[in-house]
Amino acid sequence: MKFFKKTRQVLLKDNKLGKYLSYAVGEIILVVVGILIALQIDGWKAQQEESQHEYNILQNLYRDLSATKDELESDVKANQASKLNLEIALNHLDTNTVYTSAMDTLFPAIANWESPLPTFTTYEIFKMEGIRIIKSKDIKNGVIKFHESTLGFIINDYDKAEWALFENVTMPFITENLSYLEQGKIISLKPNNYAELSKNPQFRNILTLTMAMRSKGLAFYDSSINELTELLQLIKSEIEKNGDHE
């Protein structure tokens, strides 16, 4: 700036008004160009920061959704095992199988199922910032649908239905007709009188209803895991694409 000021003073002193005006205009143009370059650099930096923020949210979403997928797959294995025990117990009733203490390990299936415990930490951040920052509409719509609709249905419909059946029907029946036994890590339900229990229509109804509900839940889980697998692939592809730009 000192150089520019000195040059203008020399031009004015020598009465070179035309050159002075030309120089002044050139100086203004230089200042404007400098400002534009500075603004462009600031804009580039802001874009880079936003891209990095998007990258971080996508990575955290991928981590949390992967953990949720592991949780759902673990639930499926446990609920499949309980459904199988229900089928075996019902078959024993149908074939009038002679009671053995081994049957006691089958009956807890009427009261045992795995509730979904998904990870929502990053989704809360996503709702505040990710909707604006994440560019992919497919990812944004997929994340919202999975959390609000798919998981919402499993948690608020299927799991609550299991709880309602357990609290209102199954647990009162267990309290009256069976006894809990614990042998190490194995939980058993021992009939107070198996001969009477095997002929009790309410017990058969509980086994049948619980088995049907467990089957319905497994179908929900299966479609949810398929949806989640596709969503994770979308997020992974976007992470890789953003990583290539760094």
Q: Does the model's pTM come out above 0.85?
A: no
Return the structure tokens found at 212. Answer: 């049907």
| Of residues 195 and 34, more confidently modeled | 195
Full residue range of the structural domain in which residue 11 is found: 2-244
Q: What is the pLDDT of residues 188-213, one digit of tens each?
A: 999 999 999 999 999 999 999 999 99
Q: What is the pLDDT of residues 48-100, one digit of tens each?
A: 566 787 888 899 999 999 999 999 999 999 999 999 999 999 999 999 999 99
Per the structure, the count of domains in the chain is 1
214: closest CA among 68, 81, 74, 72? 81
Look at residue 41 in the predicted model and tell me its pLDDT: 56
Report helix, strand or coil for 117.
Answer: coil
Distance CA 83, CA 215 (A): 7
| Of residues 163 and 131, more confidently modeled | 163
Q: 24 pLDDT exceeds 60? A: no
